[in-house]
Amino acid sequence: MKFLVDECLSPLLAVSLTQAGHESVHVLDRGLQGRPDHEVMALAQFEGRVLISADTDFGELLIRSQAVLPSLILLRGLTSRTPELASVILGNLDQIVEELTGGAIVVFTTEHIRVRHLGPDATGS
C-alpha cells in the first residue's frame, strides 16, 4: 500500500511503514510542509496514496467534497510514539485494506476502529 504521512506526525512513521514493505513518504519529502490541507490531499490523490494524519480537517474536506479518494487514516487520541502508531496501523491494515482501496476514512482511536466510506452516497459504518 502507498501512504503519505502528514506533517503533524513524525517522518519516522513513513520510515517504519516503508520498512514493513509499504511505499511511504512524509509531507516533508514532497516539500509540502506548511501547505494548505487541500494541496496535501491533492498530492495523495495524484500519487494514489492513503493519507495518514491526526488532523480532523482532512476528514471534513473529504466529506464536503464528496470525493472518493484519497482515503484517510485518522489517528485520534493515540500515543504520539512512532513505533506504537506504526504497530496500530500495520496490525490492523489487513482488516481495512479493502475500504482504503475503495475510498474511506478510517479512524483509529484507543477503543475502536471506525470506517466511513467516501463518495456522494457514502454512509458510515
pLDDT tens for residues 36-62? 999 999 999 999 999 999 998 999 999
Q: CATH code at 88? A: 3.40.50
Give the cell for residue 3: 501512504
DSSP 4-71: EE-TTS-HHHHHHHHHTT-EEEEGGGGT-TT--HHHHHHHHHHHT-EEEES-THHHHHHHHHT---S-
Structural domain that includes position 98: 2-117
Structurally, how many domains does the chain consist of? 1
| CA-wise closest residue to 62 among 76, 42, 77 | 42
Domain-located, residue 124: no
3-state secondary structure of 113: strand
Domain-located, residue 122: no
Domain-located, residue 69: yes
Confidence of residue 122 (pLDDT cuts 50, 70, 90): low
Tens of pLDDT along 79-121? 678 889 999 999 999 999 999 999 999 999 888 999 999 976 6
Across-strand partners of 53?
74
Instruction: Give this prediction's pTM.
Output: 0.92
Domain-located, residue 125: no
Domain-located, residue 123: no
Domain-located, residue 86: yes
pLDDT value at position 2?
Answer: 98
Domain-located, residue 72: yes
